Amino acid sequence: MTTPCSTTTATARFLLIGDSHAGPIGKAARRQGLPFTGGPLGAGREFNTDFFDGAEGDLTFRKKEANALFRRFLGELGAPTFSRITVPVVSTVGFSAHFPATRENWEIYQARTGAFEEGFLSSRLFDEIILAMARGALAFYEYALSLKLRIVAVMPPQRVPVLSDPAAFMAAQETIRRALDALGVEIVDVRSVAADGSGFQHPEFCEADDPLHGNLAFGQLILDELAARGV
Amino acid sequence: MDPGHSITPEKHRIHDRLDMNPYQSLPSRSFWRSAVAERDAASIDDLWTPKFPIGRHDAIATAGSCFARHIGRALAGHGMNWLDAEPAPSDVPEPEREKRHYGVFSFRTGNVYTAAMLRQWVEWALGVSSPPDEVWTEGGRFFDPFRPAVEPEGFGCVDDLRHSRRTTLRAVETAMTTARCFVFTLGLTEAWSNDATSTVYPVCPGTIRGTFDPAVHRFRNFTHAEVHDDLNATIAMIRNVNPGMRILLTVSPVPLTATATGRHALTATTYSKSVLRAAAGQLAEECDHVDYFPSYEMITGFPFKGMFFEKNMRSVSPTGVDFVMRQFFGAIHAQEPPAPAPAPVLPPPETAPGEDFLCDDAVLDYYRDR
């Protein structure tokens, strides 16, 4: 997409980038009047591939529109390259777990009942499949860390659209979370508040008329957690 | 003109507002004339709008009264993922399978007529309580009091009976923990219980098998509150082990074979079905994960003039079953996204199928809001 984007703020608290789940965070920050720059760079599926090239302290998104937004955000921060960013990077990249959890991906691993074989979702095979799909996202975080940037990954709303498998979604986000944790990425996880007893998103944190995204209240929860971490 | 009846500008505005009432924007299905009176009975449709999607690949478990057996069969025949959690062993000959209740429901509980009986099976399967030791004997054979019809010839010994019941309980557990949707057909409010063991039987002891003992066996005619409570507790147990499970309740249109209330069989049937219909409807109103499918209305509704019953005015004819299942599949397929046309091999699309278009919308929406 080619659209006007973020507002320059000399005192931005953070750079927000990621998939559509970054939207509620940015909207909540706007409503709160919080200085920041950034927003979603594309849909989640666009980060389930090799989506960027990094060299000499800078980063280029392969999708033209995403890269244009990213360059604009850097400009607003007065950073000529990615490595020159001085504020924390808040990212939802890689956590669109509903995409790898698409039902058709997993049918060959399921019994006729639709259930996975016991232990499959915690198996090395499952991890390797998910990590292969998330390889671009993991490389992105690894690259940011190599540039000594503070990067904070935000876990997604606990919402599983009908074309995705709930069990695969839960296991996939856990696999990604563990991989990021192993890399040393800070992770914002508000599930203990945003999810109900069943583990799925509490209705009060769901965007209305939308089976996938969080709402402003969910964005605010994440902002509160970021603030608690000094972001 | 009577000056008292003149329309002032203010009254005119009120008149305009009165002209706009909530019924004016309702669809034709909401009006008796267009939905029923002006139609041939067989063309009455749009009776059900599913509350949640039921996908072709979603595992669906079924159980309930005798009418429920049509549902599992129709689901499987329609290419949907009907869950048979207790398939027949290979050494059971094909002709014997249905007689021994294989492939009838998702597990071999036999008919589960009452909400209390469903609660009991789910409690046993999930380890909340245990079945009593009671076993019925007759002619040197052993019969399970809680499913006396599933092995018409009985078991050779008590161990075989218990082993078989454990297999069924494991199947119930599998179905409740793995299915995406459980279709339960409520049949009766009347049942017989055992005061000593506080258990409910599917049939009165002494009818199919067993011996009736008036000192122990007690007649029950469950109230609306009891049926609601039993269903509510059962659904809570199931959702506790399977939070994504959705429940589709139906009420069997098949009248009571007999009533033990002393009332006329017709009024007893009306009581029983009214209670079940009200309890199912209330749960569907109360819970997002519970829906009611109106098979009862589709068969017994008076616009159909009893045409879907056989001569005994009790058994539902194959035409009636087809009518119900056509409505069922029509409604759930109406909710599915249109089937994609066969696609040639192309480079990766800019937009992904399914809900992922929502991600694009959300991204655009973010920048539109600025």
Give me the DSSP letters along A74-109.
HHHHT-SSGGG--SPEEE-TT--TTTTTBHHHHGGG
Residues A15, B309: Cα–Cα separation, whole Å: 69
Closest residue of chain A to B242, computed from CA coordinates: A198
Residue B354: how many CB atoms within 10 A of its CB?
16
Whether B27 shows a pLDDT value over 60: the answer reads yes
Question: Which of A16, A162, A196 to substitute to test the interface with B, most B CBs within 10 Å?
Answer: A162
Question: Which of A113, A117, A158, A170 to substitute to test the interface with B, most B CBs within 10 Å?
Answer: A113
B242/A contact by beta carbon, under 8 A: no
**How does pLDDT run across A165-191, given as a tens digit for each residue?**
899 999 999 999 999 999 999 999 999
Residue at A8 is within a domain: no
- What is the average pLDDT across A143-162? 95
Residue at A2 is within a domain: no
Residue at A218 is within a domain: yes
Selection from B22-26, B281-285, B354-358 with the highest mean pLDDT: B281-285
Residue at A6 is within a domain: no
B244/A7 CB distance under 8 A: no
Q: What is the pLDDT of residue B369?
A: 55
Pairing of strands A58-61, B141-143: unpaired
CATH number where A110 lies: 3.40.50.1110
Taking CB atoms and an 8 Å cutoff, what residues of chain A touch B58?
A: 114
Residue B166: how many CB atoms within 10 A of its CB?
12
pLDDT band at residue B356, thresholds of 50, 70 and 90?
Answer: low
The contacts of residue B321 (CB under 8 Å, 6+ apart) are B70, B74
- What is the average pLDDT across B82-95? 89
Q: What is the pLDDT of residue A128?
A: 95
Domain interval for residue A154: 15-228
Residue at A10 is within a domain: no
Residue at A109 is within a domain: yes
- Among the partner residues B85, B243, B355, nearest to A198 by beta-carbon distance: B243
Q: What is the pLDDT of residue B337?
A: 62
Whether B241 shows a pLDDT value over 50: the answer reads yes
Into how many domains does chain A fold? 1
Selection from A61-75, A109-123, B12-26 with the highest mean pLDDT: A61-75
Question: Which of B363, B364, B370 to substitute to test the interface with A, most A CBs within 10 Å?
Answer: B363
Residue at A21 is within a domain: yes
- What is the average pLDDT across B183-193? 97
pLDDT band at residue A220, thresholds of 50, 70 and 90?
Answer: very high
Taking CB atoms and an 8 Å cutoff, what residues of chain A touch B237?
A: none
Phi, psi of B178 (to 5 degrees): -115, -20
Burial class for A71, CB neighbours closer than 10 Å (0-12, 13-18, 19+):
middle
Q: Evaluate whether B98 touches B152 at the Cβ level (below 8 Å).
A: no
A23/B363 CB distance under 8 A: yes
**How does pLDDT run across B145-165, given as a tens digit for each residue?**
999 989 989 999 999 999 999
Q: Work out how many CB contacts closer than 8 A connect A with B.
A: 104
E-assigned strand segments in chain B: 60-64, 136-138, 141-143, 181-186, 190-194, 199-201, 217-221, 246-251, 290-292
Residue at A175 is within a domain: yes
Helix, strand, or coil (residue A209): coil
B243/A162 CB distance under 8 A: no
- Give strand pairing partners of A91: A17, A153
The alpha carbon of residue B199 is apart from the nearest alpha carbon of chain A, in Å, by 30
Tokens, residue B311: 């001569």
